[in-house]
Structure 1
Amino acid sequence: MASNVISVNDQVRIDGHGLGIVTEIVYRGFTTSYMVRLVDSNFEVELERERLTIVPTDEMNAMSERPRSRFNIVSDSDVDAFNHEQSSSKKFFEEPEINENREIFEIPENELSSLLCRFLVSVRKQNGDEYEPSVLRGMISSFDRQLRRKGYEQTIALGPGFAKVRETLSMKQRQLKKDGRGNLPKKSEPLSDKDIDHLWNSDQLGTRTPDTILQTLWLYNTIHFGLRSCQEHRDMCWGDISLMADDNGHEYLQFSERQTKTRSGENPRDVRVIKPKMWANVVNHDRCPIAVYKLYAEKRPMNYSEFDHPFYIATTTIHLPSPRDTWFKRNPVGINKLGSMMKRMVQHSGLNSSKRLTNHSARKYLVQKLNDSNIPPNQIMQISGHKNIASINNYSHINQNQHRQISDILHSNVKENNPANPIPYPCSNSAQLNHNTAHVNTDSRSNLHVSGGFQSIFSAPIHGGTFHVHVHQNDSKLNQNSGHKRARYIDSDSD
């Protein structure tokens, strides 16, 4: 009878499927776990005894005698199954009320159009609430992509057979907007500098505990590298971030991007031209990302910093471990923990609960901060990873100070109480006009030296009068265009 005691170098089966070799027995108080290296990889994971089954020696020998190959044998059906699994397509029509078990691309056009119309009118969330208008449009776009991938005769977006679907979608969106949907009341707000200072001062960021190290690295990676969802953080490996130095010896971290929402890997050339970098904070060493990264590398388990090892790994159960204790375990962080990073920090820090802060708030902070600092959108895209420059406008808006200044300008009492010194509105245009001459009537003349863009002229109160603006050019330029042109008169509709 085979023994149930697991020893180092034993070959085990994980959850009845994968194979591994036990490399270490870990004792944690009254519990015992096992470090298992997966077969044909350098990846190790810490598992409980209940998940492991010892593989008999004769079975393992028979498996080892099989010839190894660089390629697994797959059929055309395996390829189709793989593509179908990766295509995020869901069988939305399997509900008992519809009772449609066919794939969407197997349904004839006339039947599919009717089903999609019924779907748009009736679909609800699990709690019975209506979806947002943009979510419905995203669902239809997902169906359309699946149909195009399968070579369907018509597309939902343009096909004449789906005209009723497009009309139903438009009417449904109009009804939802009338009911108050589409305003995104649960839309996350960007972090502010004060919010981040509060997280540092409340010990939610820093190097005090293993959890604060992970939270700090998560925030820095989101802000400086433009990572999106928790899945992108989850997929990160230790080798994706490299510690480097520039020509002046200044250290920085460089990020090599993997698969993302906008760069799925289908096009090998569709990669970031510029790899995002994060330099050391020489002004405030306590908040230096390089120092946090080095401490994290030091506290990781031995031999668990290979290129393909997970970047975020689980923390020890000890809240305040000593320098001699183990700070991290050989397990990747759970996706639920990564998905609630900001929520957990807000709860433990006592941050303003009326402000809706989520993981996405850190990414919004990145775009909003750079936009407020007048960084051009094409440069912001190289950090945030956006492919469309118009997407930057969805993240960046006027900040609270700019909004307050606009409100003060629009208040009539600003001009009445202090007409000589109104509140100037900051302009992002860096153009300067140094030779603008303004003539007020015939008895008053003054020179206006305008900077910050042409719109800055209107940042001061104007009380009547006629302005004549003269644009002076060099004589050489005037001589180049000395030809006579016919005068053209244009009627105006203005008063």
Structure 2
Amino acid sequence: MVSDFENSIDRDSSFDLGLDFLEDPEILNNSTRFQTNVLKLETNRCVETVRSEINDERFGKQVTDTEIEEMKSSKRNKNTAKNTKWAFNIFETWRQHRQADNIPEIHIMEKPALSFWLIRFLMEVRNQKGEEYPPKSLYLIMCGLLRHLRECGVHDKNILDKKDPAFAELITILDSKMKHLLDQGLGTKTKQADPVSNEDEEKLWEKGVFGMKNSKSLQYTVFFYACKLFGLRGRDEHRNLQCNQFEIGEDDGGRFIRFIGRGSKTYHGGLGQMSIKNKDIKHYCKPGPRCMATHFETYLNALGNDGDFYRRPLPSTQSGTIRYGYQPVGINTLNKFMKEIAEKGSLQGSFTNHSGKRTCATTMYTAGIDEQEIMDRTGHRSVTAVRKYKQSSDQVRKMVSNVLDPNKEDTDLHVSKMLKYEKNEHSCKTTSDKSETTVSNNIKKRRDALTDLTNQSGIVNFTGCTFNF
């Protein structure tokens, strides 16, 4: 039933709820200003609260443009920058030599002009002695010029792009010139550091170059084995090495040295290497007088386990024989460490600081270690790069030479070596209670049989025999 009140209401009319004031523009503006002021007040309160909670030392001081440029340049490889400058100076010297042709600066040339002048540069360039550059040097000069263009902001001209028709003739000339230089005998001899053989390493221990008899010998020891055990490069990874990058510990596998790497030639970090990790190697040490964990621990303790890893050795005193100062070893002195080690040990060959890293890779290759394990130690990112360290040892070279040389070794010597090998093989397979007399008798029978064969003339027939070489 509908009430009288409802019937009295006109269905077309509306309720007056007392909200007509919201339609007044002046009241609306006042309300908006009020809400805005309230919001500002709350915002200011939040800002003041945040400011009161922020530690003034949390963020660094305001950076300058100069500091930004210094940050950008600080991580550029110094050797790369040096080679870039070297290549550009060669081109500039040639350009000044042909100043009558008014050759423009390289970074303002268009593609046709750039290709035209670089072709003539390749054909005419010579070193300071007036001699041709080796093929690889010629290529490195072109790489340096390309880097110079990039530094000048030129990114649309790749002078080594084989797919760019504008530089097709330039690439052909470069390739042909490199082949021509090789035919002339240039670049056929490569100079590289020699690895330290097992015999030379033993000699260094016997002569006291390695060991803990004084501060210098211990420093030589940790330097060489930091290279051999962890594949450190001869310069950049040693120069900035810190004590806290090494840890001495022990677990179920025994005592170990842990090395935690940082930036290097092959690992820069940054956006381009987000998926690559820095070196983190744990080397387990064998117990004994040459235990590397003991040597590294003694060295680190003498340094206080803090600061630069290479510091100047101090003379022995009554308080201790292993002492080091606070001043780091100079870069020039550090670069001569391996040369000094070789001289003190009377080693024959070409030894530089890179010999340590080469020793690391070569030793593992000789032992048949998997290439991935070798790369983990050396830090190489490609198999091609690490395989450059794969080379025959002197013992293998000598054996191959003896096989090919017309002056063969004496037959009895070959037989003696073979029998000695068989004796060792047989000894490993026999039980401990088998007497040496029985082994000797078997070897004597084989020797007699081989002697009879070698003394026979004419054709000798073998039936049912297996020969293992």
| TM-score (normalised: structure 2) | 0.64
Preserved contact between residue 204 and residue 349 of structure 1 (Cα < 8 Å): yes
Distance 1:225 1:360, change over 3 A: same
Distance 1:123 1:341, change over 3 A: farther
Question: Equivalences for 1:268-283 in 2 at 5 Å?
Answer: 268-272=273-277, 275-282=280-287
**3-state SS, counterpart of residue 174 of structure 2:** helix
Question: Equivalences for 1:404-415 in 2 at 5 Å?
Answer: 404-410=398-404
Which is further off, 136-145 or 339-348? 136-145
Offset at 1:111?
3.7
Amino acid at match of 2:394: Q
Amino acid at match of 2:257: L
Offset at 1:154?
3.7
Distance 1:199 1:124, change over 3 A: farther
Root-mean-square deviation (CA, aligned residues, Å) is: 3.9
Amino acid at match of 1:310: D
Offset at 1:216?
1.1
Offset at 1:417?
5.5
Bigger proportion of residues as strand: 1
Other-structure match for 2:312: 314
Distance 1:269 1:81, change over 3 A: closer
Offset at 1:279?
2.5
Write the deviation string for residues 280-313 of structure 1: whole angstroms up to 9, x where unpaired: 231x32x22222222222322x5xx43xx22212
Other-structure match for 1:391: 385
Other-structure match for 2:294: 291
**3-state SS, counterpart of residue 257 of structure 2:** strand
Other-structure match for 1:253: 257
Distance 1:272 1:445, change over 3 A: farther
Preserved contact between residue 206 and residue 212 of structure 1 (Cα < 8 Å): yes
Distance 1:377 1:67, change over 3 A: closer
Question: Equivalences for 1:96-495 in 2 at 5 Å?
Answer: 96-97=96-97, 105-121=107-123, 123=125, 131-145=133-147, 147=149, 150=153, 151-158=155-162, 159-248=164-253, 250-266=254-270, 267-272=272-277, 275-282=280-287, 284-285=288-289, 287-300=290-303, 305-306=305-306, 309-316=307-314, 318=315, 320-324=316-320, 327-352=323-348, 355-410=349-404, 446=464, 460=469
Other-structure match for 2:32: none
Which is further off, 133-142 or 387-396? 133-142
Distance 1:125 1:291, change over 3 A: farther
Distance 1:165 1:385, change over 3 A: same
Amino acid at match of 1:343: K
1:251, 1:244 → 2: CA distance? 6
Offset at 1:184?
3.0
**3-state SS, counterpart of residue 86 of structure 1:** coil
Preserved contact between residue 223 and residue 362 of structure 1 (Cα < 8 Å): yes
Which one has the largest radius of gyration? Answer: 2
Aligned length: 357
Other-structure match for 1:9: none
1:84, 1:310 → 2: CA distance? 20
1:348, 1:200 → 2: CA distance? 11
Distance 1:262 1:198, change over 3 A: same
Amino acid at match of 2:177: K
2:329, 2:180 → 1: CA distance? 42
Distance 1:392 1:444, change over 3 A: same
Amino acid at match of 1:328: Y
The answer for unaligned runs of 5 or more in structure 1 is 1-65, 427-442, 449-456, 461-495
1:422, 1:271 → 2: CA distance? 52
Preserved contact between residue 249 and residue 255 of structure 2 (Cα < 8 Å): yes
Write the deviation string for residues 349-404 of structure 1: whole angstroms up to 9, x where unpaired: 3222xx11222222111111111111121221111111111223211122222233
Offset at 1:220?
0.7
Offset at 1:234?
0.4
Distance 1:167 1:289, change over 3 A: same
2:403, 2:266 → 1: CA distance? 40
2:66, 2:139 → 1: CA distance? 33
Bigger proportion of residues as helix: 2
1:205, 1:240 → 2: CA distance? 22
Offset at 1:217?
1.1
Offset at 1:138?
2.9
Amino acid at match of 1:97: H
Preserved contact between residue 368 and residue 395 of structure 1 (Cα < 8 Å): yes
1:411, 1:67 → 2: CA distance? 75
Amino acid at match of 1:116: L
Write the deviation string for residues 422-443 of structure 1: whole angstroms up to 9, x where unpaired: 988x9xxxxxxxxxxxxxxxx9
2:98, 2:260 → 1: CA distance? 46
Preserved contact between residue 263 and residue 278 of structure 2 (Cα < 8 Å): no
| TM-score (normalised: structure 1) | 0.61
1:106, 1:186 → 2: CA distance? 38
Amino acid at match of 1:314: R
2:75, 2:261 → 1: CA distance? 23
Offset at 1:192?
0.5
Amino acid at match of 1:344: E
Distance 1:194 1:298, change over 3 A: same
Which is further off, 111-120 or 223-232? 111-120
Amino acid at match of 1:367: A
2:284, 2:311 → 1: CA distance? 23
2:169, 2:291 → 1: CA distance? 57
Other-structure match for 2:63: 73
Amino acid at match of 1:190: P
Offset at 1:222?
0.6
Amino acid at match of 1:109: K
2:68, 2:301 → 1: CA distance? 43
Preserved contact between residue 227 and residue 233 of structure 2 (Cα < 8 Å): yes
The answer for unaligned runs of 5 or more in structure 2 is 1-55, 422-460
**3-state SS, counterpart of residue 280 of structure 2:** coil
Question: Equivalences for 1:74-93 in 2 at 5 Å?
Answer: 74-75=64-65, 78-79=68-69, 82-83=72-73, 86=76, 88=81, 89-90=84-85, 91-92=88-89, 93=91
Amino acid at match of 2:390: S
Which is further off, 70-79 or 363-372? 70-79
Write the deviation string for residues 183-204 of structure 1: whole angstroms up to 9, x where unpaired: 3353222210111122222222
Distance 1:210 1:103, change over 3 A: farther
Offset at 1:221?
0.8
Amino acid at match of 2:136: S
1:83, 1:98 → 2: CA distance? 33
2:260, 2:415 → 1: CA distance? 51
Preserved contact between residue 311 and residue 329 of structure 2 (Cα < 8 Å): yes
Say which structure, 1 or 2, has more relative contact order (CA 8 Å, 6+ apart). 2
1:382, 1:198 → 2: CA distance? 29
